[in-house]
Amino acid sequence: MAKKILIIEDDKFLRELIGQKLLKEGYDIVEAVDGEKGIKSIKDEKPDLVLLDLVLPGMDGFEVLTKIKEDSKIAQIPVIILSNLGQKDDIEKGLKMGAVDYLIKAHFTPGEIIDKIKVVLK
């Protein structure tokens, strides 16, 4: 069965680019444009992995991460933070809050991001 990836990203272009690449690699994808819809999608769709942006309208990525980890039914789903905020403090905070990895969008190609996903899902 194909692995399901949830993409929580408010920028339409970036969302489409990474989504397209994931589909090509044989993954199923679910998309959410903000934090609240993202959390709802996790609960409804139970993805195998979540790609989470931090700068989102309304609830920010850190809040979303907190809510995921608070809910025992979804806390174990691995979350990779995919953000352009990249100061050391943010990275440490994200990892400490339970994200399995923190990737700066501008520093990784979609292919490299998928390699990281493959490692986590192994």
Residue 82 φ then ψ, to 5° = -125, 100
- Does residue 18 touch another protein according to CB under 8 A? yes
Work out whether 33 is an interface residue with another protein (CB under 8 A).
no
Q: Are 19 and 29 in contact (CB under 8 A)?
A: yes
20 near another protein, judged by CB under 8 A: yes
Restricted to residues 40-99, the positions that interact with another protein (CB under 8 A) are 84-88
Which residues, including other chains, have CB under 8 Å from residue 17's CB and lie 6 or more apart? 110
Tokens of 47: 């993805």
CB 7, CB 32: distance < 8 Å: yes
The closest of 110, 82, 109 to 18, measured between CA atoms, is 110
Determine, following the binding rule CB under 8 A, whether residue 110 of this chain makes contact with another protein. yes
Cβ proximity to another protein, 84 vs 101, nearer residue: 84
Options 41, 50, 56, 105; binder of another protein; rule CB under 8 A: 105
Chosen residue from 2, 45, 109, 119 binding another protein by CB under 8 A: 109
Q: Which residues bind another protein (CB under 8 A)?
A: 11, 13-14, 17-18, 20-21, 24, 84-88, 104-107, 109-111
